[in-house]
Amino acid sequence: MSIVSPSQYGGYMSLAESPAELPAQPPTPEQTPSEPSSPGAAPPPVQLLPANHLMDTVLPVRPALIDRGSAARLKPGMLAELIGSGSARAVVLSGRQALVSDNSLVLLNAAELAGHLANTPYAPEHVIYLGSALAGSDLDAGTELVLFVLPVQFEVRAEEFETHVAGIPGDAQWAGFREVAAHLNATDTALFVEASAIANWHATHTHCPRCGTPTQPEAGGWVRRCPADNSEHYPRTDPAIIVTVVGADGRLLLGGGGPLDARNYSTLAGFVEPGESLEQAVQREIGEEVGVRVTASQYLGSQSWPFPASLMLGFTATTTDTEARPDGVEVTRARWFSRSELQEAVLSGEIVISSRLSIARSLIEHWYGGVIQDAADSA
């Protein structure tokens, strides 16, 4: 989930920059105008832009850190076999909170934990295969990982667990993703997001949508099968667009909900409706929320946000409109910012923008052309 900032990749061009602000580039052979043709001659070749000329404008992609083993988890009994091997490590989740210690996920021996929790009120509702650590992650390559979803949270410092559950640090506690995300390493972030997404799906898709029969988990917890009609059901993700809207003068439109005097401002966002393209969703949502007509849009990158099940698809869009009209329901405030105005407003504490954990912040900094300093940075 972790979103990288422009400075981590040497910077990239802000889409708000006008051509006058950019150094002139010599034409490529494909762009060089051809000589006028004589009557009856073949038409001149089409002038093409360089191949992949948009790549410098998109958000960087972080490499995967966990191999989810989509083929391996199909083997019947693979979870029991893996846990029985004694080598798998378990992430523990309950009520959208994970067991953490010292700003890291607590990873316990899955076999020992399964034995300790058996026949107790804390026996896991679901055991799900998360995958194996890849080279480059913060774990030893090949470390097998599973998720235990508990119906209730045990007290970490309760005597029965201090005595019987080995490996739980004394300072361990239950924490939600937002509470600890800023301090987690990249691997723990990926695991927390994956675990939350699949656990939320199981919690909300317990019965067959065709006949109402309770379904049964299969394939390491990544499929639910109906025993009545044998239908298979797979995890669902809800696509949502999130957009920086840029005016003809290069200013950025941000909005916020709640009280009119609230200080929070962010990008505009909304869910994609059935039968709608992403670009159509951008046009519709921006029009509905702030009354601005989008003239063009470009996809930049995405972020999984499984709270409960969203995939945020980041866009930048342009408009010739200069006036925003908040709908008063989802958006109560809307304001245009130049780059200097936005940085000054954030530093002074006049407004607060999205945290660096979110794709909203990456989209804003993409427009800005660099890292925006928060008031806390200068404290």
Q: Of how many residues is the chain composed?
A: 379
Model confidence over 144-156: pLDDT tens digits? 999 999 999 888 7
Q: What span, in angstroms and rounded, lies between the C-alpha atoms of 237 and 223?
A: 14
**C-alpha torsion 153→154→155→156, nearest 10:** -100
Strands, E assignment, 191-343: 216-218, 223-225, 232-233, 238-246, 252-256, 264-265, 268-271, 296-305, 310-318, 333-337
3-state secondary structure of 345: helix
Is residue 233 within 8 Å of 319, Cβ to Cβ? no
Q: Are strands 352-353 and 264-265 parallel, antiparallel or unpaired?
A: parallel
Q: Is the pLDDT of residue 160 over 90?
A: no
Give the helix/strand (H/E) hosting 112. Answer: helix 110-117
Is residue 348 within 8 Å of 372, Cβ to Cβ? no
Model confidence over 312-321: pLDDT tens digits? 999 999 999 9
CATH fourth-level superfamily of 238-369? Nucleoside Triphosphate Pyrophosphohydrolase (3.90.79.10)
- Tell me, what amino acid is at 84? G
CA 258 vs CA 16, 232, 261, 271, 330: distances in Å: 28, 41, 8, 19, 8
- pLDDT score recorded for residue 376: 82
Q: What span, in angstroms and rounded, lies between the C-alpha atoms of 217 and 206?
A: 9
Q: Which residues pair with 270 in a beta bridge?
A: 241
**What is the CA angle 357-361-365, rounded to 5?**
130
Q: How far apart are the first and last CA of the chain?
A: 28
Q: Which residues contact 51 (CB under 8 A, 6 or more apart)?
A: none
Model confidence over 247-296: pLDDT tens digits? 999 999 999 999 999 999 999 999 999 999 999 999 999 999 999 999 99
Is residue 292 within 8 Å of 284, Cβ to Cβ? no
- Tell me, what amino acid is at 122? Y
Model confidence over 179-200: pLDDT tens digits? 999 899 999 999 999 999 999 9
What class is the 66-204 domain? alpha beta
DSSP 33-96: PPPPPPTTSPPPPPP-PPTTTTGGGSPP-PPP-EE--TTGGGSTTHHHHHHHTT--EEEEEETT
Q: Is the pLDDT of residue 37 over 60?
A: no
Q: Which residues contact 84 (CB under 8 A, 6 or more apart)?
A: 111
Q: What is the DSSP letter of 377?
A: G
Q: What span, in angstroms and rounded, lies between the C-alpha atoms of 372 and 357?
A: 13
Model confidence over 234-245: pLDDT tens digits? 999 999 999 999
Q: What span, in angstroms and rounded, lies between the C-alpha atoms of 245 and 252?
A: 6
- pLDDT score recorded for residue 30: 41
Q: How confident is the model at residue 11 (pLDDT cuts 50, 70, 90)?
A: very low
**In CATH terms, are 66-204 and 238-369 the same topology?**
yes
Q: Which residues contact 305 (CB under 8 A, 6 or more apart)?
A: 1, 311, 312, 359
Specify the range with the lowest mean pLDDT, choosing from 57-61, 132-136, 238-242, 369-373: 57-61
Q: What is the DSSP letter of 210?
A: T
DSSP 190-207: HHHHHHHHHHHHHHH--B
Domain ranges of the chain: 66-204, 238-369
Q: Which among 185, 187, 162 is positioned nearest to 63, based on CA atoms?
A: 187
